Structure 1
């Protein structure tokens, strides 16, 4: 289930699937080239991930401001990757896509959707089979990691109409959007498949799917575009709708919170200043721990001294301690001894006869 927390405005989350071979080598090669060209300040591959079969890469770079961006990419067996980047300030969609810092831009074998394998860079035609179409849209409607856009072609388009939306999006939205394209005859089954979401694609228009759960402030009309001109021109209205949707306070998708926590808490790619600051914090932490231990030792010594004093007072009052395993006989207090003496006197006063219990007649005889 998605987290109840929302995506912080400083965070850029994405995930995908590298469908080619040697994904880890592609990452190493690309990161090395980016550092040599000065695009990256530095990068690092973490040794020995806690998750079996997973490789983790960190990278740091600057964006206009200047603002430092830190990113962490986890690559699992099979080529599936999860990337979380965080900037020192709110994310600007004009900044480069963090995915292009790790992956090559001239090869889109890595730019595929995590679960379905759909392209993050090209148009994805909807399946012609209605059952497959419903299955594809159901999966898209439930995805919270990626923004899914459904575009309907009012008529069969030429080459100009096959320009993907990703090419016109701001850099910060690329590799986070999946474009589904419906053929002219698919309008009716398309809207039939979307009936449970409360959405409807206009003829020749488009709609942005809300994901599950839908972000606060989402309304179907606000993210429905009545007409999309597929003539090679920039679909400005659709780009605006996608940009507005991305700006909504969206919930952190399933798995993103753990990835963000790992980025913040397990970050290893430190600058010299950060190393010094970390060492200072460690020294301060050790000093606090030593101070707490010293205080605990003093408190223990005071408690021991108090116990010895109490033992000495006990011995002065009651004598030595009883032997181990033998119950201590409670010492009689002065008040208790006086009470016992009065008790004996009262018993003697109630006995006028002799000590042996034989009555006397005053003459000494029986």
Structure 2
């Protein structure tokens, strides 16, 4: 099988990435209310909801279609045609931008979330945040600043499969379903997948997810799979493709697809995890070390990061002033280049006119030579010979009789 030689760009150290699925409808309303609340509480400095892209194009298309159909089909048909075309042309993508400061208000973070409709009525979202310094997982989670912390708002779902972020996800009873789950959920590189095996059936104290003990910046990036005591053998069979095994009563951090540089199964395997409500220090350390490994950008993250950097709209007054100064400098450079080009063209035209005038003057100064005739001039001897021939021919002509002669 041919292998691709394309190398994915690496995730910058200043960037925080997350992806998920909002199960309910109208995610933009939920985000708008949450961001307004965060702004009132000063958790964020400001936010901006970008106008829906393509709305004007959809309205124009609908109006044009309605105008064309209206005069012939009547007002009712024209209105229906125009409205329908406008609704179909308008995309459903929604974009929100927000900014806040961390490290005692000394480091600025810019974040951008894009919400698109999902295949089953839900909405997929991609969140990209970038700080002025390398990201610190102890900083607040950008997902928790965009989305509300309400249990009845189901926004923390894995977009690929029906899994919860930062919560416990029991593995299926069937081993084949477990294998299929890992194949579908692990690729992509968006989340950190952890498999924990229960050595014995746990009580309420053991039902605490590992995300509770993680730094705030990792809680919405971890997917925890929990295997029951009798599922150890089936889970390890399902993990053969990943090349890792989960110890009995322990845990393992899956390598992901592709695996980050520096990953070793032994380094990210925890022999024992005590599910008694205490902090699983070994597992927390393994997840934290895994998150610090350099890794390629997940699928679809490159475009989202480019949009954050190049299509940013939420500017401060100082940033807007610097932007306008940059535009003025750019226009000045363009004007200077055009002026230089105009001067060069003018100089070249003047030289061309001078050369043409010099050519005309030199052409008038040279005398015109008489062009020789194509027919050669006759010599004197030839002219004399031709005269004698004409006289001879005349003397040989018969003389016409006179009228007086009989």
Query: Where on the TM-score scale, by shorter chain, does this alignment land: which range?
Result: 0.7 to 0.9
1:40 corresponds to 2:80: no
- What displacement does 1:140 show? 3.0
Residue 166 of structure 1 aligns to a residue in which SS?
Answer: helix
1:140 corresponds to 2:185: yes
1:52 corresponds to 2:91: yes
Find the aligned partners of 2:313 and 2:50 in 1 and give their Cα distance. Answer: 8
Find the aligned partners of 1:49 and 1:123 in 2 and give their Cα distance. Answer: 37
Task: Name 2:29's counterpart in structure 1.
Answer: 25
1:75 corresponds to 2:150: no
Aligned pair count reads 335
- 1:301–1:355 distance in 2 versus 1, CA, 3 Å: farther
- What is the correspondence of 1:203-242 to structure 2 with a 5 Å cutoff? 203-242=248-287
Structure 1 or 2, whichever has the larger Rg, is 2
Task: Name 1:292's counterpart in structure 2.
Answer: 337
Given the alignment, which residue of 76, 93, 97 partners 2:141?
97
Given the alignment, which residue of 168, 174, 177 partners 2:219?
174
Residue 112 of structure 1 aligns to a residue in which SS?
Answer: coil
Find the aligned partners of 1:8 and 1:217 in 2 and give their Cα distance. Answer: 17
Find the aligned partners of 1:288 and 1:261 in 2 and give their Cα distance. Answer: 26
**TM-score (normalised: structure 1):** 0.85
Find the aligned partners of 1:315 and 1:288 in 2 and give their Cα distance. Answer: 41
Deviations 1:72-108 (A, max 9, x none): 0001113110000011111111111000111001235
Task: Name 2:77's counterpart in structure 1.
Answer: none
Find the aligned partners of 1:244 and 1:333 in 2 and give their Cα distance. Answer: 96
Find the aligned partners of 2:381 and 2:162 in 1 and give their Cα distance. Answer: 113
- What displacement does 1:355 show? 9.2
Q: Is the 8 A contact 2:35 2:146 kept in 1?
A: yes
- What displacement does 1:314 show? 2.5
- What displacement does 1:154 show? 1.3
Find the aligned partners of 1:355 and 1:183 in 2 and give their Cα distance. Answer: 136
Find the aligned partners of 2:303 and 2:287 in 1 and give their Cα distance. Answer: 26
Deviations 1:301-339 (A, max 9, x none): 0111111122122223346xxxxxxxxxxxx999xx9xx
Q: Is the 8 A contact 2:52 2:92 kept in 1?
A: no
Q: Is the 8 A contact 2:176 2:238 kept in 1?
A: no
Find the aligned partners of 1:174 and 1:279 in 2 and give their Cα distance. Answer: 39
- What displacement does 1:55 show? 0.4
- What displacement does 1:3 show? 6.2
Given the alignment, which residue of 183, 199, 206 partners 2:228?
183
- 1:26–1:355 distance in 2 versus 1, CA, 3 Å: farther
Residue 29 of structure 1 aligns to a residue in which SS?
Answer: helix
Find the aligned partners of 1:124 and 1:30 in 2 and give their Cα distance. Answer: 26
Task: Name 2:59's counterpart in structure 1.
Answer: none
Q: Which has the higher helix share?
A: 2
- 1:354–1:4 distance in 2 versus 1, CA, 3 Å: farther
- What displacement does 1:19 show? 0.6
1:109 corresponds to 2:154: yes
Please report the RMSD computed on the Cα atoms of aligned residues, expressed in angstroms: 2.6
Deviations 1:335-361 (A, max 9, x none): xx9xxx9xxxxxxxxxxx9997xxxxx
Find the aligned partners of 2:343 and 2:148 in 1 and give their Cα distance. Answer: 62
